[in-house]
Structure 1
Amino acid sequence: MRFLGMLSLCAMLLFPAFAKAQTCSVPKVLIVLDKSSSMVRNQVSNETLWHWATEALTQLVTQFDGSIDFGLMMFPAPPGMCTPGMINVDVGAGSASDIINALGIAPPYSGNYTPSYQTLDLVASYAPLQDTSSENFVIFISDGWQWCDPYDAATRFLSVNSVTALNALGIKTAVIGFYNSVDYLGLNRMAVQGLMPRSGCSTTATFDELQADPSLRCYQQADNYTELTAALNAIATTITAETCNGLDDNCDGRIDEGLFRSCSTACGTGIEQCVTGNWTGCTAQQVGEEICNDLDDDCDGQIDEGCSCQRGDTRPCGLDAGACELGQQICEAGVWTECRNAVWPTIESCNAVDDDCDGFIDNDLYEACSTACGSGVRICSSGSWGDCTAKSPTAETCNAVDDDCNGQIDDGTNLCEDGEQCIEGQCISEDDPDAGTGDPKGTAPDGCSCSAGSKPVNGRSLPLVLFLAGAFLMGIRRRVRK
């Protein structure tokens, strides 16, 4: 038992449509047939309209027996004249043979009129069509107008009201006009209110327009047996077709199978499928929130509205000075791109070009430089480096300066004239006695017997130094004795 339970559960999961369709409700259809005398007076192909109606209905109930529960109501009811119709065969399963037998009694050649609205008013109270567990329909067939003797024009469109009342009860009405003597306008209005109109028909066409152009008619028009059979078959096929209602309409054990229809959004068209009574999965592009992506996301005919720019827009960018050149930005997905193909500033170099694009050429360019004499700088001007500010070496002269920057002062030869020598930056005659000492051998240019830092050249000053030192010591001794 547990195994069978698991098997049943798996079947429901794998085949949900079959699992839910344990039972189905066959649609109920009441055929409301005009049995007026004109049905035997009017003929097509040497047979009465009644003959052809009987043949077409026999084929209908035979073909769809088991798929539709049929019933039959004919008007007028006995004794005729304008007596409202009566139920000849109750709606139910397997009623085809009873309906065929009932159709075997033809109307009288005269005396039967067309009490259409009176008959349809009775249908509203027919209990089997008020069963909400099934879909319920009326197939109304007539060859004439709403007519009782005497004719009352005020009753012409009362059948439209009757069909509207059936519609309010959930009963749909399909309308067939048989032969060319029908009230085109009255039947057209009935078909519209019956909620089973032909596709593409006109709900506002006039009588003359409907008579002239059959394509405008919302009801089914049949002028012979072939057309009547086709009309009945089309209606029955529609009634038994699987519809998107969560039911197994055609009693094949499946619910809403194979149902697709076109669908649309503001963005376009697509296809959607019926799933358990609901249309879902429309393949049309859905309306989205507009974002900056070069697409019309909300399908309002505008691309990237509200974005900073529009697709295809361009604008210049960058600098237009010195060596720099302008580039271009392009609007992509509603946003400006980076600046493309621009020439940007570079570090300023000594080349007579405004490399950094500040409006000045070779500005603030200097670099360190040096010579043997020391360090300095040089400045760029007009693309060339200027002279270094450091002192450059020159020829050595007798001036107490290291002119050639070799680390020695007044070195070299030929600094003075012949017979002179360079002493402390001055050329002194080698034969000229020293002017300040009386020492003809003095060599200092200022008359001193020596230059600062030089050693004594003889011992004449030693006795004087010793005398002064002795006197200094004697003085110190006297101060101590006291």
Structure 2
Amino acid sequence: DCNGKVDDGLTDCEGCQPPGKREICFGTGTSKQAGVGICKSGLRTCLGDGEWGACENAVGPEKEICNGFDDDCNGKVDDGLKDCEGCQPPGKRDICFGKGSAKQAGVGICKSGFRVCLSNGEWGSCEGHIDPKDKETCNGLDDNCDGQVDEGLTDCNGCQPPGAQQNCFAGTPTQQGVGICKAGSQICQADGTWSTCEGAINPKSAEECNGLDDDCNGKVDDGLTNCNGCQPPGLRQTCFDGTSSQQNVGICKAGSQICQA
């Protein structure tokens, strides 16, 4: 009506002018939701017939699902949902505990592992973790990760860790290092058992005429008579067939003899 006002006094004018004009649009969302969560605005173009074209590239709110996103554009992620086991984005790494719990990680044999978010939004398997065992075993370790080693078990004769060494001796502590007796050593094997004792010399059941303390009681050849032999081989002693008063008188002098093997 050429009064300087466009469409004045009219309502519900859905058309547009001029053709080619572009404006922001929000699809199924609102201007307040644009830029929140997954929602974003788009653009629409005024067509030649005075109607607006479709709103392009706009993303409107959707029903919330377990995906790590704010689908309904209310500023909250996965709100109102429970047991969301999915993950986002693909490649994300997360600590995992297998059958154990976060409190058990680092206790006893237990340790945490890692899992990776797959392209389908599911977590991959937990890698590198060590779970608590159902039962404690005799191995010098805390198998059930409760902070106690071999608890509730008796007669744990195994050994840990593999490669550990200890002294071994079949006699009594008072015999060790006395006479012929000496301790040997044994090594803890991978199966948790001790190897055979190597290098030990244990007491003999009976003393022998050999100039040694065979039963390791601190006495040599005790309880034996007529031990005329000599020990050890190679031992040298003075010998003289005359009397002590004749030795070194005139032509007389002592000689020597060697204990033979």
TM-score normalised over the length of structure 1:
0.24
The answer to which structure has the higher strand fraction is 1
Q: Which has the larger radius of gyration?
A: 1
